[in-house]
A and B are shown apart, each in its own frame.
Chain A
């Protein structure tokens, strides 16, 4: 039984950290730009597909993880500057709808470029296989994933708490107009935030490939979970998104031990409970 519980905690943690990455990205865009990014899922998918192509071309998984999210950032920049920004004067619902339309378009472009059939991507050779700890056997790649995502999230926290630009972003989440009044170029802030959110989504997609593989619908599939994370965490709370992501991952792990059919339902159950008992989210401020 200990074997089971330890593995499930690790499984839940690994999954949860991936959720946390996408969740933080979505929360950032939501908090600073005030838009639910309906294209967040396809940015995640693009990260995976770019990683697949780069890994196939260069033969190196690590180069793929490095470059793929940057390409996704470029796509994010494109979406924000050419589309979202143009709609700034319109009701901000239109920015959301634009991103939704883009999600539909990008999903089809993925199919046009990479085809309808899914792919697999192997983890790098030195991270293949599993380690035998005695009480449990656990895949190397998943352990590396947990360590790496913890590293990324820590870097993010340092960025937000210790740097000026991070402070500007946090201020932007709290009170956008104040930031404008302080003379900061809000357009640059938006572009940067959207880029950062895209980076995190793309990185998560790339990191997920050895575990989940690639398929064109992977973007739309992960979108509902992203929104559940945001609802549970509370709008604009980045630590909240991390914790909510991990919480969801762990509860799915727990469900598997006792009631596997409910692995999806448990997510929505948690969301329902949050909405009823703490509607502003676990860490929400507004």
Chain B
């Protein structure tokens, strides 16, 4: 008795050979970009927004660059490094991706940067880790967000400007490597601006219950609580600080914030007297940003962009800028062009440090305004000032960016 009939065997081999062609190389008349964002799982809200920002950048150039069509695909990172790595690798293998942007979570980014390095594709990330342009730097990876040291320096400097009589600050620090690094920077820089750290409490990432931390902080009678955390952690803390009556009497600093996305989740009363440090805000006064905000608002029924879409837009813009200036769509040429590039972007003046691929750029510090002063329902804050001071060389952990 035959296991498989002759006809079935024939069909089987035909299908087999046909499937081989799914992996045959496609003629390279397109430039292939992958956006990997969290569309599901925690941070699904940020992923959705990042993707929208990226679309604005692509629409601006009509999905064409240097005479080639742009093939842009997205994949769900699920904020799981294992899944993201598999999907990025699969996209590189089957869709011939040369450029990767995203995701949201730095943990996932650290996994993707290794995949990018192994496959020699260019990778642009924005987020809360120093390692992409630090310890784990390599020739193919770039960091869009301001360096953490730059951010902390900006926060302290401008906080002091907004609250000249404040002296004592109490730190809430999210308990993982990035948090510890920022804490170290704050402790080193505070004195320079006439501030004193009177207490530090580390809380686990994803923590929601801050009553205990707040009561502890309040016992030390600080002039402000300075938070080194973000997202829901920061929002929960701010919410509860308001419950306890710490704000609005005293200010709270959200030192690494998404700006709009975090503030929108707070009630106006909870939003009072906050100093918000962020990599992007919709009121940035450049013509390019105004155009971006206008185009973005069309996609969201009028909600202005915050950091997530700003970063989505910014990452894609940088990749496209590199291609335009180099006249090429070869990752190596784009990378060589971006290294050392100086220019004006929608977020201000920037320079890309060729030694660690860090973008030297402004970090924005905002002050929230009371409801009575809001010009429209999304007018949460005003930019007080910006700062672009570069991290001192000896602090940067990228000792050798390597070669192609």
Q: For the complex, give the distance between the alpha carbons of A221 and B204 in Å.
A: 13
Instruction: Using CB atoms, name the residue of chain B closest to A121.
Output: B267
A217 and B204 within 8 A (CB): no
Q: Which of B201, B207, B243 contacts A130 (CB 8 A)?
A: B243
Q: For the complex, give the distance between the alpha carbons of A175 and B218 in Å.
A: 51
A117 and B261 within 8 A (CB): yes
On chain B, the number of residues with a Cβ less than 8 Å from chain A's Cβ atoms is 37
Q: Mark A252-270, 1 if CB is under 8 A from B, else 0.
A: 1100110011011000000
Residue A118 is within 8 A (CB to CB) of chain B in the complex: yes
User: Which residues of chain B are near A263, meaning CB under 8 Å?
Assistant: 203-204, 207, 209, 212
User: Which residues of chain B are near A221, meaning CB under 8 Å?
Assistant: 206, 208
B44 and A11 within 8 A (CB): no
Q: For the complex, give the distance between the alpha carbons of A108 and B245 in Å.
A: 35
Task: Mark the stretch among A79-87, A136-144, A176-184 that contacts chain B.
Answer: A136-144
Residue B269 is within 8 A (CB to CB) of chain A in the complex: yes
Residue A213 is within 8 A (CB to CB) of chain B in the complex: yes
Q: Which of A14, A139, A210, A212 contacts B244 (CB 8 A)?
A: A139
Q: Mark B250-278, 1 if CB is under 8 A from A, else 0.
A: 00000000000100111101100000000
Task: Mark the stretch among A2-10, A41-49, A194-202, A272-280 that contacts chain B.
Answer: A2-10
Give the most central of A120, A129, A137, A263: most B CB within 10 Å.
Answer: A120
A8 and B235 within 8 A (CB): no
User: Which residues of chain B are near A141, meaning CB under 8 Å?
Assistant: 243
User: Which residues of chain B are near A139, meaning CB under 8 Å?
Assistant: 211, 243-245
Instruction: Using CB atoms, name the residue of chain B closest to A119.
Output: B265
User: Which residues of chain A are near B269, meaning CB under 8 Å?
Assistant: 122
Residue B202 is within 8 A (CB to CB) of chain A in the complex: yes
Q: For the complex, give the distance between the alpha carbons of A217 and B213 in Å.
A: 23
B44 and A256 within 8 A (CB): no
Residue B355 is within 8 A (CB to CB) of chain A in the complex: no
Q: For the complex, give the distance between the alpha carbons of A32 and B244 in Å.
A: 40
Instruction: Using CB atoms, name the residue of chain B closest to A208.
Output: B208
Residue B166 is within 8 A (CB to CB) of chain A in the complex: no
Chain B binding site: helix, strand, loop or mixed by DSSP? mixed
Residue A111 is within 8 A (CB to CB) of chain B in the complex: yes
The size class of the interface chain A forms with chain B is 35 or more
From residue A91, how far is it (CB to closest CB) to chain B in Å? 30
CB contact under 8 A between A117 and B265, given known A15-B211, A137-B244: yes
Residue A116 is within 8 A (CB to CB) of chain B in the complex: yes
Q: Which of A119, A121, A252, A257 contacts B216 (CB 8 A)?
A: A257
A15 and B202 within 8 A (CB): no
Instruction: Using CB atoms, name the residue of chain A closest to B46.
Output: A116
User: Which residues of chain B are near A36, meaning CB under 8 Å?
Assistant: none
Residue A216 is within 8 A (CB to CB) of chain B in the complex: yes
Residue B119 is within 8 A (CB to CB) of chain A in the complex: no
A137 and B245 within 8 A (CB): yes
User: Which residues of chain A are near B379, meaning CB under 8 Å?
Assistant: none
A261 and B175 within 8 A (CB): yes
B267 and A117 within 8 A (CB): no
Q: Mark A95-124, 1 if CB is under 8 A from B, else 0.
A: 000000000000010010001111111110
From residue B235, how far is it (CB to closest CB) to chain A in Å? 7
From residue A63, how far is it (CB to closest CB) to chain B in Å? 19
Instruction: Using CB atoms, name the residue of chain B closest to A254.
Output: B212
Q: For the complex, give the distance between the alpha carbons of A138 and B12 in Å.
A: 73
B215 and A4 within 8 A (CB): yes
Instruction: Using CB atoms, name the residue of chain B closest to A218.
Output: B208
17 contacts between A and B (CB under 8 A): A15-B211, A115-B45, A117-B261, A118-B232, A130-B243, A137-B245, A141-B243, A142-B211, A213-B236, A213-B265, A216-B44, A217-B41, A221-B208, A252-B212, A260-B202, A261-B203, A264-B207
Known contacts A108-B40, A139-B244, A142-B211; can you find 11 more A-B pairs with CB under 8 A?
Answer: A3-B219, A4-B219, A7-B212, A130-B244, A130-B245, A138-B244, A212-B209, A213-B239, A256-B213, A257-B216, A261-B203
